[in-house]
Structure 1
Amino acid sequence: MTAPMQVGYADILRVWQEADAVPEIEHAWLFDHLLPIAGDMNGPILEGWALLSALAAQTGRLRLGLMVTSNRFRPPAVLAKIATTVDIVAGGRLDFGIGAGSRPGLPMARREYEAHGLPYADFGDSVANLAEACAVIRRLWTADAPFDFEGAHVRLTGAFGNPKPVQRPYPPIVIGGRSDATLRVVAEYADLWNIPGGDIGDAVDRSARLDRYCADIGRDPAEIGRSIFLPVSYERPDSTRSAIDEALAAGFGHIVLGLPAPYPDGVARWVADQFVPAAVQVPATTGAADGAFS
């Protein structure tokens, strides 16, 4: 992951094009904020979906996405159209990441809503909105005729998606979050679930809760991949390596490595050399040997 804040387009493009040539790296990600959430609060930041489309046009192998889109920023039918366009530009390489949006307790993120004239409902309301958005977006990607949708949060008349995404029936849906309410949405709609790293015990507990919510609706929990975000330390790679090993052993088979800016020359190759060999040494009984790196 290359967070598109406090850094320029040319630097991100360099890292993505380098990663595109490193087969051990399977995905590349941006995040979705409109103002910086770290460093200079008035520093530069690029809009995620516009940047993603540009990077999709200049890479050829990597799967790509936003980890994760804020459902608060764009109406879901508009977001479905944007994502379809990116999947077409990418030739079918989009992983569609979405989440409820930042919690009220994160003031650095909340300020971006007020700065852009965006409404900011309470978190419970935003999770309910997320569930309806996932239903609408999936239907826009698959419906053969226009439809109406009358929800508590989303209302559409004559909605129709044309063209469809390259990937059928639709791009993989990645939902990020850790609350119980969000995990219930994950159980119903996600192909991959992502959680920020840090407390691996909490991540394992949340994963077990997701299993239970899947069972409640009759879905096989194995259908949902487990993904975790881990920050990279250039100065202390051993600490990053230990976090990767711990996550893999806990059943998180998709590892998203956050690269701090500025990016050293050759950073994608360095990441693969430093961290992927550690992953393949994890015992096969964990199910993590087949894990993917981003």
Structure 2
Amino acid sequence: MTQPLIPRFGIMTAPSQVDYRDILRVWREADAIPEIEHAWLFDHLMPIGGDPNGVIYEGWTLLSALAAHTQRLRLGVLVTSNRIRPPAMLAKIAATVDVISDGRLDFGIGVGSRPSHPLARREYEAHGLPFHDTAHAVGSLAEACTVIRRLWTENEPFEFHGTHIQLTGAFGNPKPVQRPHPPLLIGGRSSATLRVVAEHADVWNIPGGDIEDAAERSALLDRYCAEIGRDPASITRSIVLPVSYDDPDTTRDAINEATAAGFSHLILGLSPPYPDNVAQWTAAELIPTRPAPPFSPPRRHESFPPRRREPPSP
């Protein structure tokens, strides 16, 4: 008999158009709420929404700071662009964060920005980074997953001569705290990326959108796993769901639909400005079986709708 899915909830705070202290406040608050098990940033170098010249923080640097200021949350970048950092350098960065967090890193990675996104190329051109075609990006991602895992686990220097990555005398020290290595989350929805997921990932994330489409992508991943002899159930299904402060019923419905479609790793996207007690509100309103906490008065225009009160049972 199939066991029912037990959803595990996290939050995402995009490090853009927001102050560092506000993100830190939300993460510290979430760190004290057991129902919120994980927290995430994203990986862009220039804003992809709002003021194009607005504030945006580098994801891994910020994650390291947040790791040092939290104690319980699992944490990660959703997802690291494999186009931005050389994989061996990224393995070193990630191992450092896992050490700082005492083994709480979930390592998220993907091919990088979608070519169809109107701002996809801007941040690469502005930082002198190449923006290769999709075939190159997917092939490089597969090699990066192999290289990063080897740097985390092998005890002797090694050579790697792939199509896209060339390493001589590669070696990683310190190793991550987690053994054999931090969980590997790969994000994306394209067929080519899903083949990489089937081969390498512990967790697959799809960045929200239509639940029916997400379920179809999940079924395709099942097929790719079967083709290489891997149990599809060994890959946790993850999805990002935007949080509506004004209409939490919409978010509750999306949570129910995603869970019914087989997604058990649910990431609730919080948009700035963050109201006071936003993590407590999220847990109380959107995560089952948690009573409502008291709220401090909202700041300026930042406010929540009144908590929905159910009539008492007869």
Smaller-chain TM-score bracket: over 0.9
1:109 deviation in Å?
Answer: 2.7
Cross-structure match for 2:5: none
What residue identity is the alignment partner of 2:39?
A
1:110 deviation in Å?
Answer: 1.8
- Structure 2 unaligned spans of 5+: 1-11, 291-314
Cross-structure match for 1:149: 160
1:110 and 2:121 matched? yes
- Structure 1 unaligned spans of 5+: 280-294
Decide which of 183, 187, 192 is 1:176's aligned counterpart: 187
Decide which of 180, 190, 203 is 1:192's aligned counterpart: 203
| Aligned 8 A contact 1:94 1:171 in 2 | yes
Cross-structure match for 1:40: 51
1:68 and 2:79 matched? yes
Tell me the alpha carbon deviations over residues 85-114 of structure 1, each in whole angstroms, 9 at most, x when there is no partner. Answer: 000000000000000011211121321000
1-side partners of 2:115 and 2:165: how far apart? 22
What residue identity is the alignment partner of 2:206?
I
Q: How does 1:243-282 map to 2 (within 5 A)?
A: 243-277=254-288
2-side partners of 1:49 and 1:76: how far apart? 14
Cross-structure match for 2:301: none
What residue identity is the alignment partner of 1:59?
T
Q: How does 1:115-134 map to 2 (within 5 A)?
A: 115-134=126-145
1:158 and 2:158 matched? no
| Aligned 8 A contact 1:241 1:278 in 2 | no
Tell me the alpha carbon deviations over residues 207-226 of structure 1, each in whole angstroms, 9 at most, x when there is no partner. Answer: 00101111111111111000
| Aligned 8 A contact 1:193 1:227 in 2 | yes
2-side partners of 1:118 and 1:230: how far apart? 30
Report SS of the residue matched to 2:119: helix
What residue identity is the alignment partner of 2:53?
N
Decide which of 33, 44, 50 is 1:22's aligned counterpart: 33
Q: How many residues align?
A: 279
1-side partners of 2:138 and 2:212: how far apart? 24
| Aligned 8 A contact 1:35 1:109 in 2 | no
2-side partners of 1:141 and 1:198: how far apart? 33
Tell me the alpha carbon deviations over residues 47-77 of structure 1, each in whole angstroms, 9 at most, x when there is no partner. Answer: 0000000000000000000000000000000
Larger radius of gyration: 2
2-side partners of 1:17 and 1:102: how far apart? 29
**Which one has the bigger helix percentage?**
1
Report SS of the residue matched to 2:121: helix
Cross-structure match for 1:291: none
Report SS of the residue matched to 1:245: helix
2-side partners of 1:153 and 1:278: how far apart? 49
Q: How does 1:229-248 map to 2 (within 5 A)?
A: 229-248=240-259
| Aligned 8 A contact 1:245 1:278 in 2 | no
1:6 and 2:17 matched? yes
1-side partners of 2:209 and 2:192: how far apart? 21
1:243 deviation in Å?
Answer: 0.5
Segments of 4+ in structure 1 off by > 2 A? none
